[in-house]
Structures are given as structure tokens and as C-alpha cells.
Chain A
Amino acid sequence: MTETLIFICAGTMAAATPILFAAMGELVVERTGVLNLSIEGMMATGAAAAFAVATVYESSLLGFAVATISAGLLSVVFATLTLIFLANQVAAGLAVGILGLGVSALIGKKHEGFTIEPLKSVDWGFLSDIPVVGRILFQHDFVLYAGILLIAIVWFVLTRTKLGLIIKAVGEAPEAAHAIGYPVILIRFLAVFFGGAMAGLGGAYLTLAYTPLWAEGLVAGRGWIAVALVVFGSWRAHRVALGAYLFGAISLLELSIQGLGLAIPSQVLSAAPYVMTIVILVLISRDARQIRLNSPASLGVTYRHQS
């Protein structure tokens, strides 16, 4: 039983990390009032680019860097379409997302079916040797800890800093933000780039650490889950993070339940993480006033620059 518990707890941290990166990025993007639906494609591009680079140059760090840049570049395409040419955000997001999936297939083609060494765990010294807790918390790679740090940073910036206020002002009332002198388009552009880069990192975590191989379709809907988590977590960093961990935990619990031989059809179990995560998040965020307060008023609305 302890083993199963350790498996679920330790596994959750790893399983949630790719989604966490993408969701934190998307949270910032949506807070500025832009709905970016191309996260799935950006994760895939990051994943494939990271794997290709890591295979050829045998450097995971370089892989993460290239993933950040390549997915970031893809988000520039999206930002240019929606912020400069004022294209519809939903349609542009879908199109760029599909483009990203295509690009990932193209980049990854040559490297399909091969594996690399996964990332090494951080050495925490004696902490890693504590029974149970050590194995749950202190036997992971550095990117996973960076993901936890990212939650704290995003939470802090959004709720405790002037930058956070500017980001939220741009998302709530772009005209007003513009009127008092903030460069709305530039801020949104940078946010979209940040979101893309984080999605790329999340994708890279999949191919460099989590499942050290590339295959078309590897991202398997995680980008969509990230987008859903931001909405169902009512645009607040800690709830979005909770959602990511919940999703990871339930998907691992599903596998453990199967192994225990309980008589629940495995198809139902396979669907459980999606259903449960959303139901739980909806329940804890069901306060309508809170949702109105936190949902960016201009989300998805095209902003026309008036001078």
C-alpha cells in the first residue's frame, strides 16, 4: 500500500509538470485578455524540437532552450495574426495549433522510435533518503522543481506586483489601460510569447524527462487540458496548479485501480481524469461573484488600437 501511495504521489508531480508549465503560461496570456487555443501545437513543437536537438547534440539544456525558442516563435505567428492583423483569436488559435502539430511531425520524423537518457534527479543529499517523503518529494529532476517555482512566481507577479496589475488592467479594460498610457498591444504580445515559451518547456519536459522519446501525437491532449484548467481554475494560479496536480493524480490512480483488479470498466477509468478534474474545479470555483471578479473582461475580444 505504501508503495502504491508513493507511486501515485511521486508520479503525480512528474505527470502534472508538462501541464503545469503550459497552464501557467496560458494563465498569464488569458489575464491580458488573449485566448490562445494553440497550446497543444506549441507543446508538440517544443517537444519535437527539444528531442531532436537533445538527440543530435546530446544536451538536454540545449533541448529546453530550443524548445522555448521554437514554441515562442510559433506564438509570435499567433500574436502577429491576432494582435496586429486583428484576426479572430479562436480561429487563429486553432489554425496555429494545427500548424504546430504539423511542424512537430516534420521536425520529429527523423527521430521517431528512438530513446535518450532521461534527465538526472537532483541530489538533495540526505533529504532524498528520508523514507516515503524523500521518495515523493526529493527524487526528481530540476525542471520539475522549476515548475513549482513557476507557480509561485506567477502567483506573486499577478497578485502582489505592479506588473500584475498592469497585466490584469490590459485584460480587464484595454481601452482604459491604453488611455493611461500602457502599450496594450506590446504587453499582450509579450504575454503571448511567454505563454508560447512555457508551453514549449512543458512539451520539452515530456520528451526529455517524462517519456524520453518522441512520437507523433505524444502530447495527447495535454495542451487542451491546460487551457481547460485555466478556465475551470477561474484564472487563479493556485487553483490552476491544483487542477494540474489533480489531473495527474487521478490519471495515476486510474492505473493503480486497474492493477488492483476492482470491477470498474477500464474505459470509465480512462475517462475519469478528465471528468473528475473538471467537476472538482467547477465545484470549488462555483462562486459566481469570484468568477466574474477573476475572469478577464476582454478575454477573446479583439482590441482595436485607437489613437
Chain B
Amino acid sequence: MMRGLRRVAALFFVGVLTVGAHSASAAELKIGFVYPSPVGDVGWAHELDNGRKAIEAAFGDRVETVVAENIPEGPDASRIMNQMASTGAKMIMLGSFGYMNDGLKLAKKRPDMTFIHASGYKLADNFGNFQTRNYESAYLAGIGAGFVTKSNILGIVAAYPIPEVVGIINAFTMGAQLVNQGVSVKVVWLNSWFDPSKAQESARSLVSQKADVLLSLYQDTPSVVTVAEEMGVYVVPTSSDMKKYAPNHLLVSQQIDWGPHFVEMVKNTLDGNFKGIPYWGGMKEGAVRMESWTPNLSADQMSVINEKTAELKAGAFHPFTGPIVDQAGATKLADGEVIEDGALLGINWLVKGVETKLPD
């Protein structure tokens, strides 16, 4: 019933937009956007929508965008994207991992269209995907955490132990270890993509165990951030700048910026030379950047951070550079060895210094 209601609402929404589209002046390219969650004022869908705004700012009247938000993965998503395709969209941005197979099916059927898909791994000539190298920003945030922690305990609230999340935990830990050998890191797994009350209680539980810096890892709501502000510990959010939810205790925000990549893909589509590529953007590409560093770091400390930031931006440094030892003490990367992208995409071990074990 709820699915049904939602479906009706979503179709109605697309319908309204389509009617609107017909009355508008004909743009060169109509682009559809499908988001898994509501746009809200921070978080994943919010950042995807900022990417859409960047496209509108760059191309003006040449493009026209339509949006469907809060679309569950599965048949609803498939229906929405087909609807978009049949009402003139020539390009579609799919904002969630689970849209991959339906999107790919549509892409094979419609070689005249182009698709970009968030965080998947399948590709076609007209179907590319995009992710961020959030481990780079997590490394920098980790350095800051290593400086400000007094208890030497850092806490992470994380959703599921997937490779991307594991990589971020490792990078955060190694960043802290760069400036503070004594840190240990505690992780609470929520085993849920979305559970604000559990995220909030996890944050409280970590603070009660002496963690004084929290990393809110892919929590779409600011629940962990508000708890940190309330309890007076530093916090690092992912995806969006959340300064306004923790004006005093935000250590730094890891801000995602899809704008440059989206604009490039639209340009390629307009020029007729779109290629389905896997895009993995980091600090160098401007896909992720640090926002709102706390003013409480000293000039010396900031200069360490700025130096690493510059190296990452220049592509001169990789956080996963050996020697790296895992929790069990086994050497994962030899001295000077840099991890390959393939290995990083499938990473399933935690570095020494993380206390919590990975669930099997």
C-alpha cells in the first residue's frame, strides 16, 4: 500500500514535470535525475542535486532537468527512468547503487541516450559510473583528529562494512597515526543504511567510552553531528558541510562536489562524444574537499594538514602507501608500496590501531 501510494505520487510528480516540460521552450538536452532519498538540506541526495544545479548554471537554457526524489530501488526506479526516457530525456543520472541493473537494461535498449550511475561497477558505452575518493578527505580529517584528541580514542559510526567504508576507516586511522601514534579507533556498525536514532545512540555510546572525536560515516542525517555538539566532542561528517549543526564542535566537513564531473559528462553528451567511464574523483579532481576546519588547530598543526592537502591535490601522495600492517599484525603493503585501485575497491581488512573487528 505504501509502495503503491509512493509509486502513484512519483508518477504524478514525473507526469507534472513532463507536462511542464512540453510547455517550456525546447532545450537541446533534457536530463533526468533519480535520487534514492529526499533532497533535504544536507546529505547524499542534496549533494547530487547540487551537481544538477551546477549543470544548470553551466549550460543555462541549453539543458532542462527533471527530478524524481525518494525513489526506492527496484521496480519503481525502473518505471521512473523508463518514463523519463519515453518523455524525451536523453541523459539520466542514477543516484543510487541499486539502480544499476535497471539502468543498464535501459541503456542497452536506448543507445541514443547516455547514463551516469553512482557507485556501481558495471559499464557500457553509454553507461558510466562515478564515485569519490573519500578516503583522501578522511585521511586529512584523521590528521586533525590526531591533533585534537585528548583521550586518544576516536569513534566512528558506520553503516555497513562494505569496502568503501572500510577504506575510509583505515584512512582516517592512518591520518591520525601520522601525528599521534597512540590513537585507537572504535567503530560501531549500525547494520542499517538509515536509522537516525540508532546512529545517535551509537554516538553517545562512543562518547561514554571516552571517544572525543567522532566520524559520522555516510549518515545522511545530521543526528551524529548534533549529538557531538551537545556532548562537546569534535565531529567529522561525510558528504555535506554540517557546520550549522555543530557550530562549536565541527572539526572539519568532507564536502562532496559532483559539479565538475556532471558538467563534463553533459558537455560530452552535447558534443556527441560521451564514453561510459568509471570516474573515481578525489581531491585532485575537486570531487571532494575539506570545508570549515575548526579554528582551534594551531598554525603549526594546520601547516601539516595543508601540506598533505597540497600533496593529495597534486596527486603526489596516496594515503595507502606502505608500510601498512593490519589488525592481526600481517604486513599488507611493504615499505613504499602503493595500493592499487582494484585492491582498494575490494578492501576487507582494517589497519592496526582500529580496535573493532570486521564482522565476518
Chain A positions within 8 Å of B, measured between CB atoms, are 3-4, 6-8, 11, 15, 95, 98-99, 101-102, 105-106, 109, 112-115, 206, 210-213, 215-218, 220, 251-252, 255-256, 258-261, 263, 265-267, 270
Check if B196 sits within 8 Å of A213, measured CB to CB.
yes
- From B43, B70, B201, A252 is in contact (CB under 8 Å) with B201
Check if A115 sits within 8 Å of B226, measured CB to CB.
yes
Check if A113 sits within 8 Å of B42, measured CB to CB.
yes
- From B5, B37, B197, B205, A7 is in contact (CB under 8 Å) with B205
- What is the minimal beta-carbon distance from A259 to any residue of chain B, in angstroms? 5
Contact of B186 with A by CB under 8 A: yes
19 A–B pairs (Cβ distance < 8 Å), ordered by A: A3-B208, A3-B210, A6-B208, A11-B205, A99-B1, A105-B2, A113-B43, A114-B40, A211-B196, A216-B70, A258-B189, A258-B205, A258-B356, A259-B186, A259-B211, A260-B209, A261-B355, A261-B356, A265-B360
Report how far A251 CA is from B360 CA in the complex, Å.
21
- Since A113-B37, A261-B356 are in contact, a sample of 8 more A-B pairs with Cβ atoms closer than 8 Å, ordered by chain A residue number, is A3-B208, A4-B208, A113-B38, A211-B196, A212-B226, A258-B189, A259-B205, A259-B209
Check if A267 sits within 8 Å of B359, measured CB to CB.
yes
- From A8, A102, A258, A263, B5 is in contact (CB under 8 Å) with A102
Q: Across the interface, which residues of B come within 8 angstroms of A251, CB to CB?
A: 198, 201
Check if A11 sits within 8 Å of B221, measured CB to CB.
no
Q: Across the interface, which residues of A come within 8 angstroms of B186, CB to CB?
A: 259-261
Check if B197 sits within 8 Å of A210, measured CB to CB.
yes
Report how far A15 CA is from B43 CA in the complex, Å.
25
Check if A213 sits within 8 Å of B209, measured CB to CB.
no
Check if A105 sits within 8 Å of B5, measured CB to CB.
yes
- What is the minimal beta-carbon distance from B43 to any residue of chain A, in angstroms? 7
Check if A218 sits within 8 Å of B210, measured CB to CB.
no
- What is the minimal beta-carbon distance from A159 to any residue of chain B, in angstroms? 33
Check if B209 sits within 8 Å of A256, measured CB to CB.
yes
The chain A residue sitting closest to B157, CB to CB, is A255
The chain B residue sitting closest to A110, CB to CB, is B38
* Given contact pairs A115-B222, A261-B356, A109 touches B38 in the complex (Cβ within 8 A): yes
Check if B356 sits within 8 Å of A270, measured CB to CB.
no
Q: Across the interface, which residues of A come within 8 angstroms of B189, CB to CB?
A: 258, 266
Most B C-beta atoms less than 10 A away, residue of A98, A113, A215, A259:
A259
Check if B187 sits within 8 Å of A258, measured CB to CB.
yes
Check if B245 sits within 8 Å of A255, measured CB to CB.
no
Most B C-beta atoms less than 10 A away, residue of A3, A206, A211, A251:
A211
Report how far A260 CA is from B70 CA in the complex, Å.
36
List the 7 closest pairs (A to B, CB-CB), nearest first: A113-B40, A7-B208, A255-B205, A261-B355, A266-B189, A211-B197, A112-B38
- From A3, A102, A217, A265, B209 is in contact (CB under 8 Å) with A3
Contact of B313 with A by CB under 8 A: no
Check if B1 sits within 8 Å of A98, measured CB to CB.
yes
Check if A213 sits within 8 Å of B223, measured CB to CB.
yes
- From A7, A206, A216, A255, B188 is in contact (CB under 8 Å) with A255
Report how far A212 CA is from B227 CA in the complex, Å.
11
Check if B41 sits within 8 Å of A215, measured CB to CB.
no
Check if B194 sits within 8 Å of A215, measured CB to CB.
yes
Contact of B141 with A by CB under 8 A: no
- What is the minimal beta-carbon distance from A8 to any residue of chain B, in angstroms? 8
Check if A259 sits within 8 Å of B5, measured CB to CB.
no
Most A C-beta atoms less than 10 A away, residue of B43, B220, B245, B357:
B357
- What is the minimal beta-carbon distance from A78 to any residue of chain B, in angstroms? 15
Q: Across the interface, which residues of B come within 8 angstroms of A256, CB to CB?
A: 205, 208-209
Contact of B268 with A by CB under 8 A: no
Report how far A213 CA is from B42 CA in the complex, Å.
13
Q: Across the interface, which residues of B come within 8 angstroms of A220, CB to CB?
A: 195, 197
The chain A residue sitting closest to B245, CB to CB, is A115
